[in-house]
Amino acid sequence: MTTTAARPPTPTLEQVAALAGVSRATVSRVINDSPRVSPAARDAVHAAVEALRYVPNRMARSLVTRRTDTIALVLSESNTQIFADPFFARIVRGLSARLADTELNLVLLAARGGREQEKVARYVQQGHVDGVILISLHRDDLLPDLLARSPVPLVLSGRPFDGRAVPYVDADNVGGAAAATTHLLQLGRSRIGTVAGPLDMVAGLDRLTGYRTALAAAGTPARPELVAEGDFTEAGGSRAMARLLSEVPDLDAVFVASDPMAVGALRVLRAAGRRVPDDVAVVGFDDAEVAASCDPPLTTVAQPLEEMTGALVDLLLEQIGSGGSAVEARLCGTALVRRASA
């Protein structure tokens, strides 16, 4: 069964105009909701559009408007699978929700290796999108430079490593981590370790800084063996927690720099026969949903993700709109969420 049916030709503005008995210009005005159209013409055009199942050709439109009404979320997953991170899923949901009532479309661009990153950069440079949101940046990531070459507006989720002038949105990771650690101090704990995030990411670094800051403020600076680096994943959290336990057997509290890591850490603690939170108090960071699924639920530092994704879009739209704008940064607060033990 070889169906070599030529694809049916898509109707054009021209044909709609002909059917409606008006000019192309008028059809265009109707399509674009121009107020300067008579009701009669409007109805005729709408009817013709329905009849022909007309859909505007985006390429033709973009060629003249120089807009694509599309923004890209670029996933620079030079590391492992960012997909698995619930934080990522929430970002996507948040962005989609924010864009739901707009004309803007969202596309995700995955860039793992160097070649893919260049391909993505080319895609952006060729004008497929009006703006780019870049997340999950690592220190040696090439994407910011690759993307900066093109005139397409760019915003980062997370402060850039170098102090480069790029708009970004970040959570108060230092403050959040300090709050978490202070909470543990107030519980009366004294041997407080941390399962840190990856130290080639600002979020990882900042949370470690917050942890250290709080300890230092309490007059009990962190000992090196109290810090175990993880990679924000559940498995990484398990590994780091195991290392921490073996090096500091009398650990009585731990600040875990992400919630997936906290889940892994908790598993290890329990397998080791430690009671949580009686023997070892745990505070997670990031994703309230993950932490809430623990039993007993974890005390957590939550990020205002809605606020962050909203700010990301706002920042980007600002730039797209004005065709250049003041470089801006938004720091979003964090909140310590204590949950009653089940």
Partner DNA sequence: TTGAAAGCGCTAACAC
Partner DNA sequence: GTGTTAGCGCTTTCAA
Q: Are strands 299-302 and 335-337 parallel, antiparallel or unpaired?
A: antiparallel
Under the criterion CB under 7 A, does residue 213 sit at the interface with DNA? no
Q: What is the DSSP string of 113-173?
A: SHHHHHHHHHHHHTTS-SEEEEES--TT-SHHHHHHTSSS-EEEES--SS--S--EEEE-H
Q: Is 164 in the site for its own copies (CB under 8 A)?
A: no
Asked whether the beta carbons of 37 and 56 are under 8 A apart, the reply is no
Which CB sits closer to DNA, 38 or 190?
38
By the rule CB under 7 A, 24 interacts with DNA? yes
- Nearest to 256, CA basis, from 242, 275, 272, 246: 242
Interface with its own copies includes 106 (CB under 8 A)? yes
Residues 6 or more apart in contact with residue 31 via CB below 8 angstroms: 13, 45, 49, 56
Scanning 3-11, 180-188, 203-211, 220-228 for contacts with its own copies by CB under 8 A, the matching segment is: 3-11
Does the protein bind its own copies through residue 273 (CB under 8 A)?
A: no
- Residue 26 binds DNA (CB under 7 A): yes
Q: Please, is 129 exposed, middle or buried when counting C-beta atoms within 10 Å of its C-beta (0-12, 13-18, 19+)?
A: buried
Other Cβ atoms less than 10 A from the Cβ of 187: the count is: 15
Residue 265, helix vs strand vs coil: helix
Stated as kind and residue range, the H or E segment containing 260 is helix 259-271
CB-wise, 1 or 40, nearer to its own copies?
1
29 binds, among its own copies, DNA, none (CB under 5 to 8 A by kind): DNA
Return the number of the residue (54 or 88) whose C-beta is nearest DNA: 54
41 binds DNA, rule: CB under 7 A: yes
Q: Minimum CB separation from its own copies for residue 240, in Å? A: 17
Residues numbered 215 to 244 that lie near its own copies (CB under 8 A) are 235
Strand partners, 170: 331
**Any contact of residue 123 with its own copies (CB under 8 A)?**
yes
- CA distance linking residue 149 with residue 163, whole number of Å: 17
Among DNA, its own copies, none, what does residue 335 contact (CB within 5–8 Å per kind)?
Answer: none
Which of DNA, its own copies, none binds 36 (CB below 5-8 Å, type-dependent)? DNA
Residue among 80 and 209 whose Cβ is closer to its own copies = 80
Direct distance between the N- and C-terminal alpha carbons of the chain, in angstroms, rounded to an integer? 62
CA angle 154, 156, 157 (to 5 degrees): 150
What x-and-dash track marks residues 171-190 binding its own copies by CB under 8 A? --------------------
- Site size toward DNA (CB under 7 A) is 29
Residues at the contact surface with its own copies, assessed by CB under 8 A? 1-8, 10, 55-60, 62-63, 68, 70, 72, 81, 83-84, 86, 88-89, 92-93, 96, 100, 105-110, 112, 115-116, 119, 122-123, 125-128, 150-151, 235, 293, 322-327
Contact residues toward DNA (CB under 7 A) are 9-10, 12-14, 21-26, 28-29, 31-32, 36-38, 40-42, 54, 56-57, 60-61, 63-65
